[in-house]
Each structure stands twice: as structure tokens, then as C-alpha cells.
Amino acid sequence: MAQRWPLPIQGAYYILLPRYGDERGYMQESFRTDTKLDLGDTVEGQPSHQIAWSKSCKGVLRGFHTSPYYKAVSILSGSILDVLVDLRPHSPTYLKYAFMNLSEEEPGEVIVPPGVGHGFLSRSDDTRMLYVQGGVYKPEQEVNVRWNDAVLNVPWPKEEADAALVSAKDSTSALLSEARPDTATLKPGRRISLVIGASGQVGGALCELLTDARCVGTYCANAAPRPGCVPFDMDAAADNPKLAEQLLSFVRPAVVYICAGFTWVDGCERDVEKAQRLNHRGPLAVAQAAKVYGAKVVFYSTDYVFDGRAASMTDDAAGYANGYVETAPLNPLNVYGKSKVDGETAILQCDPSALILRTTVVYGPEMQGKNFVYQLARRLADASGMSVPNDQVGSPTYNRDLAAISAELVEKGATGIYNVVGEEIMDRYAFAVEVASALGLDSSTVKGTETVAGAAQTFGKADAQVGAERPLRCGLSMEKTLAVVSHRPRSVRDAIAHWKATPFAAGAKELGS
């Protein structure tokens, strides 16, 4: 049965078709019209008007060629680095690119939608490619864009590209600005970022900030949060790092933001192995793959790496002064915190130039609508109220501020550990009251409670299972970060006002829904 992976370009797929073989040789499937694909008009039922093949020697580079019909491209012999670029102005993935390694040993097929640019770099002396086409080749219908256009900035392997054999036609193809005048104002050097966990509140804010043209997001259990997102299972990658390598080989980003993780604190306590897979080994697999492709790694961590036992807000001996500083001693109290420490340590050992961002109490618009502010707004709207700890101190962090500061730290070449949080330090009850006031809701049904050791934290819902021990006096200092970045985090009140005034662009749930 065929396996398929959607690529970061709308309607483009990588397909692995069955091969049947024995000691005599093999029979390889190369094209099936019953493979269900989302091409707008699917391949299923579309006639194939032409079958063609090409031969290239090692080092030949071709592209980017677009056609008004689909192509199914596969390898008969040799190997190539296959590259697609979305040149459709009205496509939601306009100007994104995707890479695939195709070879006779690992047979795959690439579905190239109409209007998407196709190019490749031959890596063998006898590379033969098969094209099954939804139309007949007519040179006058082709629209070609130069393979090394500075605005597209496709990251071809430098040494191979510098020595490539390129035809006169491809060397003098139109620049992107000539073929697509709407791109004339774009600057050269555009970079693509990969956001692991784009359906979450941190990943969603990053995608909003970076824009669809400059980022590729991943999703797992939830539906694709936006066009061009690709599936990726961090849990599976923890035990099969090749999944992370395949993802990075498709996208070849400049930056990888690892937002996905197992952040349910009580859930981590109940499933230690899952916490390690999602917060340590899975992210490490991504970091290792990113290193192969030269991508910057950004990993999100937590203030729960500390024990929260600072005696007062000015306890310098504990490294606390106005929140824990980055160099304060680590002493996590629960499985969640321990798994994040393990993730931090492993990633920095793998790549010392990685960026670890510790944050806490993140809130803001998100597709799933499950963060604390959403829960609070729903409970106050229906007058059911909420019990909130009044002894757990933290730094509420607006997700859009977190995204903006993350991107600025990357832009400025920051490495190592930085705190990225709101500048206000308050307990959860005070945070809830402030949010209620900013939303114009009655906070009288919000009840402050003391944390019960070993009890699950459910904000008033029944849960008899064992919970995680929580650090009480946490919160993080922004002194180091603010010395580097120009963006200043909003207060809770200003953040809620901004949220209400500028709803999330990617279909986030409304407050109270």
C-alpha cells in the first residue's frame, strides 16, 4: 500500500509506492490514479496525457520550471535532490519550498501541482527520471524562474550548487520579480522557519508573527492549523529519530522552534515515560536533525526547573531577585520539570549554539482555546466560578510577546539560556482577578486556595488522582533578556486589551467560547 506525506506546499505530496522483489529483481509501482490526494482537482480521475523521461549526468541542476498541469515525478536510476517552489500567487503556501531525496534504492514519487516550480540536482552519473503528466509538454506554456533567485533564497547545498552544470536557458531564466511582479518589493535573503507544534498557543503565535510565507508548522493530534503545515509525531520521533530527519530534509529551515511538548504537569507525573519522550528524547531527535541541516534550534522550557523555595522576592542567595535568573541552581520538584531539565541539557550538549527559552503561565489566543484565560472566561461567563491557588507565584506571559522576543533573540544571534516572560510577578489568584477585571467580568466567584501537596490541580474540577508537587515561589527575571531585545512584554491588562482588539488571524477560539 502506498504511503504518503503532505509537503509544505499546498497540494504537493511525497509518495512511497510498493516494490515487489525477490532474488531475480523487482517490480516497482510508479503511478496510481487511486491514490487520494488533495490537489484541488485530485489525481484520481484525471487523465494522464503524457509520459516522458529524462537523463542527466552527475552535477546537472535544472529548474525552476512550472507547467499548467500536474506532474508525478519518480526515479528510474540514479539519485537526485528534488526541489519544489510554490509560484502560484493565490496559493496559501506561495513562495514556500520543499526538498525530497529521490533514488533508485529508496523509490519515491513527488506530486507537483500545476503552477508549482520544479527543479532538481542530479547526484549520479546516470540519473533517469520518469514524468507522468496531466498535460502535454509545450514550451510556450512553461513559466520558468531562476534556480538561484536571491528573493526565493532556496538553500541548495552550496558546494554542489557552486559546481553545478546549469543550462544557458536555466541560467538566464526570469528573476522572481520579473515572473511574479507582486514580489518586486520583497527583500533578498528570505528564510524559512520550522515551528514544531503550530496548533499550540506558542507555535500559533510564532506562525502569526512569521507569516505563512516564512514558516512551516507541524501538527499531530489536531487538524492542520493552517495551509502548508505538515504532520509530525514528536512522540514517535523519540524512538525513531529518522522521522525528525525526514521532516528536516523536507523543509530545510534556517530556524527550528520546538514548541510541542507534554506540558500537562499532573499528566507527566502519571506517565513519566511519555514526559521523557515528548520533553527530552523527541526534542533531542529534532535538534540532532537540525544540526545536520545547519538550522538554529530554539527549545521552550519552564520555570518548573526550579524548586520555588525562595524565602522572599529578594532572596539573592537562591538566585531569585525579582524572579529566578538563568544561572540559578536547578532543582525540579516534579516529573515535568525534570523532563525539561533533561531536554535542555541534551539539546545544549548536542548543539551549544542552541537557544533555550524558559517561560511560564503562557496565555493568549489559540486554536484549541484551553489555556487558563479561556477556562477562566468560560467559568465566569456562566457564573460557575473557579478555585485558583493564591500561593503559586509566577510570571504571566502573553504568547505574542513570547513569539516576538523569541524571533528577536534569534535575529540577534543569542545562544544558551534566556528567560522570556511577562515582567509582572504575581500569584495565580491575583492573575485571575486581573484578567477578569480586564475582561469586564465579575471576579467574585474566583476563590483563592492554598496548594495541597500531592493533589491534582484542576481549578475546582474533581480529580482524585495523584498530582505533581508544584514549586510555589517561581517567576523568572527578564534582566538578561531585556538587555538584548527591544521588544517589551505587555502587562496582563495591556495584553488582554491587545488580544481583544486584534483577534488571532488563524481561527483562534474567542474568549468565553
Domain ends where: 183, 202, 221?
A: 183
Cell (9 digits) for 255: 530556524
Taking 70 as the threshold, does the pLDDT of residue 40 lie above it? no
Q: What is the largest CA-CA distance in the chain?
A: 79
Instruction: Please check whether residue 393 is in contact with residue 425, taking contact to mean a CB–CB distance below 8 angstroms.
Output: yes
Is residue 390 in some structural domain?
Answer: no
Three-state DSSP class for 412? coil
* Range with lowest mean pLDDT among 51-55, 254-258, 399-403, 465-469: 465-469
pTM for the whole thing? 0.91
248 CB-near residues (< 8 Å, 6+ apart):
194, 256, 286, 289, 290, 292, 293, 295
Is residue 383 in some structural domain?
Answer: no
Mean residue pLDDT of the chain comes to 89
| Same-domain check for residues 243 and 161 | no
**What distances in angstroms separate CA 438 from CA 19, 432, 443, 475, 509, one per listed residue?**
61, 10, 11, 22, 18
Please report, for the domain that includes residue 317, its CATH number. Answer: 3.40.50.720
Domain ranges, residue 313: 193-371+398-422+476-493
Cα–Cα distance measured from residue 112 to residue 505, given in angstroms and rounded to the nearest whole number: 29
| Same-domain check for residues 92 and 132 | yes
- Better-predicted residue by pLDDT, 429 or 311: 429
Under the banding of pLDDT at 50, 70 and 90, the label for residue 196 is very high
* Range with lowest mean pLDDT among 139-143, 241-245, 398-402: 139-143
Taking 80 as the threshold, does the pLDDT of residue 63 lie above it? yes
pLDDT of residue 426: 92
65 is catalytic: yes
pLDDT digits (tens, 9 = 90+) for 74-106: 999 999 999 999 999 999 999 999 999 999 888
* Range with lowest mean pLDDT among 9-13, 80-84, 219-223: 219-223
| Same-domain check for residues 269 and 405 | yes
Taking 80 as the threshold, does the pLDDT of residue 50 lie above it? yes
* Range with lowest mean pLDDT among 37-46, 124-133, 373-382, 501-510: 37-46
pLDDT digits (tens, 9 = 90+) for 177-192: 999 999 999 999 888 9
| Same-domain check for residues 116 and 240 | no
Is residue 64 in some structural domain?
Answer: yes
pLDDT of residue 343: 98
Domain ends where: 162, 183, 204?
A: 183
Active-site annotation holder among 70, 94, 97, 131: 131
pLDDT of residue 129: 95
| Same-domain check for residues 162 and 205 | no
DSSP 3-54: EEEE-SSTT-EEEE--EEEETTEEEE----TTS---SSS-STTPPP-EEEEE
pLDDT digits (tens, 9 = 90+) for 466-504: 588 999 988 999 999 999 999 999 999 999 999 999 886
Is residue 440 in some structural domain?
Answer: no
**What distances in angstroms separate CA 94 from CA 228, 266, 302, 405, one per listed residue?**
10, 41, 35, 26
Please report, for the domain that includes residue 176, its CATH number. Answer: 2.60.120.10
- What percent of the chain is predicted at pLDDT more than 70? 88
pLDDT of residue 512: 57
Taking 70 as the threshold, does the pLDDT of residue 45 lie above it? no
**What distances in angstroms separate CA 509 from CA 52, 227, 229, 377, 382, one per listed residue?**
49, 18, 19, 12, 17
Cα–Cα distance measured from residue 169 to residue 172, given in angstroms and rounded to the nearest whole number: 5
pLDDT of residue 386: 87
Active-site annotation holder among 13, 65, 304, 418: 65
Is residue 386 in some structural domain?
Answer: no
Domain ends where: 148, 183, 218?
A: 183
Three-state DSSP class for 122? strand
498 is catalytic: no
pLDDT of residue 101: 94
| Same-domain check for residues 86 and 230 | no
Mean pLDDT of 349-375: 93
- What percent of the chain is predicted at pLDDT more than 90? 70
Domain total of the chain: 2
**What distances in angstroms separate CA 99 from CA 14, 241, 262, one per listed residue?**
10, 18, 29
| Same-domain check for residues 153 and 252 | no
Is residue 505 in some structural domain?
Answer: no
Taking 90 as the threshold, does the pLDDT of residue 355 lie above it? yes
| Same-domain check for residues 262 and 169 | no
Residue 19 exposure: Cα atoms within 13 Å on the Cβ side: 14
Taking 80 as the threshold, does the pLDDT of residue 302 lie above it? yes
| Same-domain check for residues 21 and 53 | yes
| Same-domain check for residues 106 and 251 | no
489 CB-near residues (< 8 Å, 6+ apart):
397, 398, 401, 405, 421, 422, 423, 478
Which amino acid belongs to residue 375? Q
pLDDT of residue 385: 83
| Same-domain check for residues 129 and 243 | no
| Same-domain check for residues 213 and 318 | yes
Is residue 438 in some structural domain?
Answer: no
